[in-house]
Chains A and B, each alone.
Chain A
Amino acid sequence: DGSDDNEEGSAVENEENAKGAGKKRATPRTRRTHARGRDRHGNEDDEDDEDGMRRAAPRRHRSRRRGRAAGNEASDSDMEPAKARKNQANQKSKEDDEEEEDEKGGKSGKGKNEKKGDKKSDKKGKKEKANKKKKDKKKSGSGSDSESEEEPITEEELAKLKEEVEEKKKLIATLRNKPWKMKKKLSVLKEAQLFVEKFEGALGKGKGKKFYAYKVMMMKKWMKFQRDFENFKTACIPWEMKIKEIESHFGSSVASYFIFLRWMYGINMILFGLTFGLVMVPEALMGKPYGSLPRKTVPRAEEATAMNFATLWDFSGFAQYSVLFYGYYNNQRTIGWLKFRMPLSYFLVGVGSIGYSFMIVTRTMAKNANDDGGGDDTSFNFSWKMFTSWDYLIGNPETADNKFASITTSFKEAIVEEQESRKEENIHLTRFLRVLANFLALCTLAGSGYLIFFVVRRSQQFALEGLENYGWWERNEVNTVMSLLGMFCPTLFDVISSLENYHPRIALRWQLGRIFALFLGNLYTFIIALMDEINLKARYFLLFTMFDRLLGNIEALQSLEEEKIVKYNMTIWEASLYNGTIPENSTAPPIQVDPADVPRGPCWETMVGQEFVRLTVSDMMTTYITILIGDFLRAVFVRFFNYCWCWDLEYGFPSYSEFDISGNVLGLIFNQGMIWMGSFYAPCLPAINVFRLHTSMYLQCWAVMCCNVPQERVFKASRSNNFYMAMLLFILFLSTLPAVYTIVSIPPSFDCGPFSGKTRMFEVISETLEHDFPSWFGKVFGYASNPGLILPFILLMVLSLYYLNATSKSYKEANLELKKKLQSVRIEN
């Protein structure tokens, strides 16, 4: 024992050298004494074990130390498992440090001594350790490792620990939702983060250690990546500062127009990407160059003027015979070394643009519907006026004054209306007035429709008698009448709506609806009036083109009749080439003719495309000029002539203009309808529109800040702009009808475009299936497009629509029930 003591003493000294072993210094000694005191008979075991120990030195050594450390805590026998594990983890990390220290310590002798000493001291403590282990097994907790003699954490403990870590993580994620002060949030965050870090380390022991640590690291990296990506996305949103500035000056209703414009810009960028990248660029790079084919060359007759600015502005000449229009594309199945399927790509891009537009408009509508809350407008009238009427985005004192005035007015009106609603007569009067107003509006619409019908018939009569006999008015009667109607009827509707006495937001919707009906009605009467005269198939191209250029281009629409004539002429012309040189009935070598000289067939698709492009350009010009003259010059006039004018120009007539939200939104929507209609025939249209929207944004932002004043009644546009979206969806549907109709029913021109030579445009799909896909694919497709399969599918979709509708109705009813219950509880109390 004496020698033992000596060794133990040296061991103790050695221990003192070890790092962080301060605490351990005391207790092993005491424990050893206890051990010696108690377990003398256990010595034999110890000796055996000691031999075993020497064999497997380092691992056991480590575990011994851990055991010893665990033994330190033996006194606190009824400690919580968590704390035990915590301490074990702490001890373990300390021990790992010690390990390193030992290894770095270098002197093998010293290390060996220490090890030996430790082993010796451990001998005595081993019994304690064994006891402790048993206790731990009952508690089922101990830092596990890959060593065999460590107990694993039981599943239960592991799960509990994981749960706690998950809770802490969730707390960290939702911390920003808590209404606490920043100091408190910071301290809670730090504490939670420390906890998570500590235990993620401990959790990662066991079989799946490496995998778990890897998973945790990947999760952290992923969260960081997500956050950076969010930051990047926010930074990428264009024009944010401009729109915020406008919001602060004019309130959120004017800003909602600009947000709508920006959203449209995004859609057009994607359409542009599709048409440019998949249609225009491949043809330009890989297709046959200009001048190699008749369809790709300017005809000899037009060559002289082909480069003039006037021609190019009109999109004829070189602009017409380029990738910008349908007619340039060749009907080769594949082009270039990539074997790019040009006709297929053209077709798919056309159909894909339509599909994408539908998808995104519907998705935005659904998102807005979610935000709406689905509540009925009337239940909390006064409370909402009180709590939600202030527009926090206003930063300009003038707008704020307007806002104060409008809030006061709205309070007073609401009080008066509520008082008056208790009297019965006034409801009837209001209702009568509203019915009267609607009646008047209908009369206006009917009147304008009849006027257009009458005027179109008259112009056809003039055309029969020869237009030279008539002056300017008769020639442009239809155009002028339609434009005038478009200018004056909305003002009339405005006057009528003052009868109705609605909230301005609702009045705006009625106004928009009526203007929309006016434009639609005008167009349809126009088309119907023309229907008898124009070739039946061609009339569908008129749908939704604005009224300006149509009459001038009726020849384009009669081209289908022309085709037959031209084909006949071409055969004659070809025969004339061979005339006199080679006998008939023998195959002759093709004579080289310059493509510019070949007679061309009519190309109605290009003509239609050109129409749309011209319309877009002229629309753009009109808008810009209207802004410059109507807003800017007016503002300049009011500002500078106010000094030398009889009455106060700024308060009386004309004063500064207000920003016309409804007119601008409608213009934007109709313009987009134009693009959707025409982009199949003119792939350049999305590009032009992107340019147009880009310049529009800057010009209108400048004009609004410079020339407009905030509206008198500043009302907040609610975040759900579903009304505009619904209109957009409707226009989208109507615009894509013509393109779809032509794809399905009308034969493409024989002499131009990627579908020339086919009987129908969609045949490109069946051709691709034949050549590029294995044969079974074609069979499957054939079966799938069988009406016997399609009809049940449509039936299924209709049924599911019905089911979803029924479900949503039942939810609404449940909502109402709950509301009623709440109210009855309220009344009971």
Chain B
Amino acid sequence: AGAQGSGAMGGSASLIPRDLLGEYQELTFLSKQEILLAYRRFSELLPKEERENACSARVPKSQILTLPELRANPFQHRICHVFSTSETGDDSMSFEDFLDMLSVFSDSATSDIKSHYAFRIFDFDNDGILDRKDLEQLVNCLTGQGEESRLSSAEMEQLIQNILEESDIDKDGTINLSEFQHVVSRSPDF
């Protein structure tokens, strides 16, 4: 989500009130230019009438998924779900949700907060732990949509077995947040 490549830097959009901008800078890992750029990208997703008060508008999920950075991502639906604060459960995002998302994915975010959100993204059934079903769905997301690229059920079984062997410290058959963070903190690639 750091690749905001196609935005042309036009005139300064100071449509965010200054004190709010300062607060956003305090509360996210983004710099001022990045917040303004995010604001521009966000308002482009809105229909023209609503662009004036983009700060309080909500963008439906289908619109968010048209962003190129999310379009190619296998976890697009989970990401929208995790960062959305919509009360109706339709996974629409407000500008603040959008900022939250960008802040977590930015380069300067700490590994702690990234792993926290990664856990929530991978937790497909939202029960706070990664059990077998979650892991299976995770693998299916990663191997793409085509039929020939999916793993056979024997391979899947083997894979999940190996993963649980490696990461499940208390042997309860699931991976909780601290186990997840332990595994991921050792990885140079995360």
Q: Is the contact region of chain A dominated by helix, strand, or loop, or is it mixed?
A: helix
A147–B167 alpha-carbon span in the complex (Å):
66
* B74 is an interface residue with CB less than 8 A from chain A: yes
Nearest to B162 among chain A residues (CB) is A382
Chain A neighbourhood of B155, CB < 8 A:
411-412, 415
What mask results when residues 75 to 101 of chain B are scored 1 for a CB within 8 Å of chain A, else 0? 100000000010000000000110110
By the criterion CB–CB under 8 Å, are B159 and A411 in contact?
Answer: yes
Q: If A244-B4, A379-B166, A404-B149 touch, does A388 touch B25 (CB 8 Å cutoff)?
A: no
* B185 is an interface residue with CB less than 8 A from chain A: yes
* A176 is an interface residue with CB less than 8 A from chain B: yes
A822–B183 alpha-carbon span in the complex (Å):
13
Contact check: which of A373, A395, A411 meets B188 at CB < 8 Å? A373
Q: If A384-B183, A388-B184 touch, does A415 touch B159 (CB 8 Å cutoff)?
A: yes
Additional 8 contacts, C-beta under 8 A, given A244-B2, A401-B144, A404-B144: A182-B97, A245-B5, A382-B159, A392-B105, A395-B5, A395-B68, A408-B151, A415-B159
* A164 is an interface residue with CB less than 8 A from chain B: no
By the criterion CB–CB under 8 Å, are B188 and A375 in contact?
Answer: yes
A749-790 with Cβ < 8 A to chain B = none
* A713 is an interface residue with CB less than 8 A from chain B: no
Question: Could you say which interface size class chain A belongs to?
Answer: 35 or more
Chain A neighbourhood of B15, CB < 8 A:
none
Contact check: which of A177, A189, A386, A395 meets B139 at CB < 8 Å? A386
Interface residues of chain A, those whose CB is within 8 Å of chain B, are 172, 175-179, 181-183, 185-186, 189, 227, 230-231, 234-235, 241, 244-245, 247-248, 371-373, 375, 379-384, 386-390, 392-397, 399-401, 404-405, 407-408, 411-412, 415, 418-419, 716, 718-720, 822, 825-826, 829
A3–B116 alpha-carbon span in the complex (Å):
75
Nearest to A397 among chain B residues (CB) is B72
By the criterion CB–CB under 8 Å, are A386 and B138 in contact?
Answer: yes
What is the minimal beta-carbon distance from B79 to any residue of chain A, in angstroms? 10
By the criterion CB–CB under 8 Å, are B144 and A234 in contact?
Answer: no
Contact check: which of A227, A244, A380 meets B187 at CB < 8 Å? A380
By the criterion CB–CB under 8 Å, are B33 and A231 in contact?
Answer: yes
Chain B neighbourhood of A389, CB < 8 A:
142, 189
By the criterion CB–CB under 8 Å, are B26 and A176 in contact?
Answer: yes
Q: If A245-B3, A396-B72, A415-B159 touch, does A384 touch B116 (CB 8 Å cutoff)?
A: no
A183–B169 alpha-carbon span in the complex (Å):
35
Chain A neighbourhood of B16, CB < 8 A:
none
By the criterion CB–CB under 8 Å, are A176 and B27 in contact?
Answer: yes
By the criterion CB–CB under 8 Å, are A411 and B143 in contact?
Answer: yes
Q: If A375-B188, A399-B72, A412-B151 touch, does A407 touch B162 (CB 8 Å cutoff)?
A: no
A310–B5 alpha-carbon span in the complex (Å):
43
* B54 is an interface residue with CB less than 8 A from chain A: no
Nearest to B115 among chain A residues (CB) is A387
B1-50 with Cβ < 8 A to chain A = 1-5, 23, 25-29, 31-34
* B64 is an interface residue with CB less than 8 A from chain A: no
What is the minimal beta-carbon distance from B8 to any residue of chain A, in angstroms? 10
Give the most central of A185, A372, A395, A829: most B CB within 10 Å.
A395
A720–B189 alpha-carbon span in the complex (Å):
9
A660–B116 alpha-carbon span in the complex (Å):
36
What is the minimal beta-carbon distance from B54 to any residue of chain A, in angstroms? 15
Chain A neighbourhood of B3, CB < 8 A:
244-245, 247-248, 393, 395
Q: List 29 A-B contacts (CB under 8 A).
A: A182-B100, A183-B96, A186-B23, A189-B27, A230-B31, A234-B31, A235-B33, A244-B3, A244-B4, A248-B3, A373-B188, A380-B166, A380-B167, A382-B159, A383-B163, A383-B183, A386-B138, A389-B142, A392-B2, A393-B3, A395-B3, A395-B71, A399-B72, A404-B149, A407-B143, A408-B144, A411-B143, A411-B155, A418-B158
B131-168 with Cβ < 8 A to chain A = 135, 138-139, 142-146, 149-151, 155, 158-159, 162-163, 166-167
What is the minimal beta-carbon distance from B115 to any residue of chain A, in angstroms? 9
What is the minimal beta-carbon distance from A253 to any residue of chain B, in angstroms? 11
Chain A neighbourhood of B116, CB < 8 A:
179
* B122 is an interface residue with CB less than 8 A from chain A: yes
Q: If A186-B23, A411-B159 touch, does A387 touch B118 (CB 8 Å cutoff)?
A: yes
Chain A neighbourhood of B170, CB < 8 A:
826, 829
A182–B4 alpha-carbon span in the complex (Å):
22
Chain B neighbourhood of A418, CB < 8 A:
158, 162
B91-131 with Cβ < 8 A to chain A = 96-97, 99-100, 103, 105, 110, 112-113, 116-118, 122
A88–B129 alpha-carbon span in the complex (Å):
50
Q: If A244-B4, A381-B166, A393-B2 touch, does A411 touch B151 (CB 8 Å cutoff)?
A: yes
Chain A neighbourhood of B190, CB < 8 A:
387-388
A389–B143 alpha-carbon span in the complex (Å):
11
By the criterion CB–CB under 8 Å, are B163 and A404 in contact?
Answer: no
What mask results when residues 170 to 190 of chain B are scored 1 for a CB within 8 Å of chain A, else 0? 110000000010011111111
Chain A neighbourhood of B118, CB < 8 A:
387
Chain B neighbourhood of A181, CB < 8 A:
85, 96-97, 100
A366–B36 alpha-carbon span in the complex (Å):
34
A375–B188 alpha-carbon span in the complex (Å):
8
Chain B neighbourhood of A822, CB < 8 A:
169
Chain B neighbourhood of A396, CB < 8 A:
68, 72
By the criterion CB–CB under 8 Å, are B167 and A394 in contact?
Answer: no
* B73 is an interface residue with CB less than 8 A from chain A: yes
By the criterion CB–CB under 8 Å, are A379 and B186 in contact?
Answer: yes
Chain B neighbourhood of A245, CB < 8 A:
3, 5
Nearest to B79 among chain A residues (CB) is A392
* B52 is an interface residue with CB less than 8 A from chain A: no
By the criterion CB–CB under 8 Å, are B188 and A371 in contact?
Answer: yes
By the criterion CB–CB under 8 Å, are A248 and B5 in contact?
Answer: yes
8 closest Cβ pairs, A-B complex: A404-B144, A182-B96, A400-B72, A245-B5, A248-B3, A375-B186, A718-B188, A382-B162
What is the minimal beta-carbon distance from B136 to any residue of chain A, in angstroms? 11
Contact check: which of A182, A247, A392, A408 meets B149 at CB < 8 Å? A408
